[in-house]
Amino acid sequence: INVSFVFLYILMVIAQAEVTLKPDRPFLWVQPGQTAVLECCYTNKGKLESFKWIRYFREGNHTIGPANVNLTDLVTQDVDSKTSCGVLNFLTVQPEHSGMYQCWLKDSKRFTHGTYLHVYKPVEKIIDLSEGTKNKILMAEGVLLLFCVLLPSAILLYQSKRHNNLEMKKVKMQEENIYEGLNLDDCCTTYDQIERSQTQGQYQDVCNVMEEEEEIQLEKP
């Protein structure tokens, strides 16, 4: 038993060494009702291998597979002998077709890299707008945004200018109140009177002192 197992293992290694797998398409996104084509390609010195398609898919929270792909009138299998590729055709893709698809090469006992087929439902448009209408909406949004930026700035500048004007008027009114009712001619007349009274008072005092001394001297015997 051990000898036969080793012999089969050696044959498998040799077969795998002769087969070279080509890169498969990693992802394929399609909408329900569309067609889809999956390929698994390899090179085996010009020889074609027998294969079958298998897939892994999600069911609830579990991953199921590898499971054989059920071939129907809408899901067919073909072989491209020129490129040594196995082909899986979906004439009308359905959501339940989503999953990871690989080829199982029976002769070399190998899986190909595989392609993940994702069937998705497009998002329905609530409002169907043309490109011209979209461009107009974007332009209006840009103008509105610019207006929202410029208007507060203009208001702040206006308030600042108004505040400065009020401050200047306040300072000017204070200066006018200081000199309000003050006549320069009266000020000069009053100042001259004060100067004259002070001068006359000094001279009058000296004369009065001299007269008093003379009177004192005359009274003496």
pLDDT tens digits, 130-188: 777 878 888 888 888 877 877 787 888 888 888 888 888 877 777 666 655 555 455 55
Q: Say which CATH architecture domain 16-119 belongs to.
A: Sandwich (2.60)
- The whole-angstrom separation of Cα 53 and Cα 40 is 9
Backbone φ and ψ for 128, nearest 5 degrees, come out as: -90, 105
Distance CA 48, CA 40 (A): 12
In the chain, the N- to C-terminal Cα span, in Å, equals 181
Q: What is the DSSP letter of 48?
A: P
Largest CA distance in the chain: 181
Determine the distance from the C-alpha atom of residue 208 to the mean position of all C-alpha atoms in its chain, rounded to a whole number.
102
Tell me the residue ranges of DSSP E strands in the chain: 20-21, 27-30, 36-43, 51-59, 62-68, 75-80, 85-90, 99-105, 110-111, 115-119
Q: Which amino acid is at 67?
A: A
61-83 mean pLDDT? 87
Higher local confidence (pLDDT), 192 or 146: 146
Q: What is the pTM of this model?
A: 0.51
Q: d(Cα 189, Cα 70) in Å, to the nearest integer?
A: 126
103 CB contacts (<8 Å, ≥6 apart)?
40, 51, 52, 53, 54, 86, 111, 112, 114
> How is residue 47 written in tokens?
């020889």
Give 2-7's long-range contacts (Cβ < 8 A, gap of 24+). Answer: none
For the segment 79-126, what is each residue's pLDDT rounded down to a tens digit? 887 777 889 999 999 999 999 999 998 887 888 888 999 999 887 766
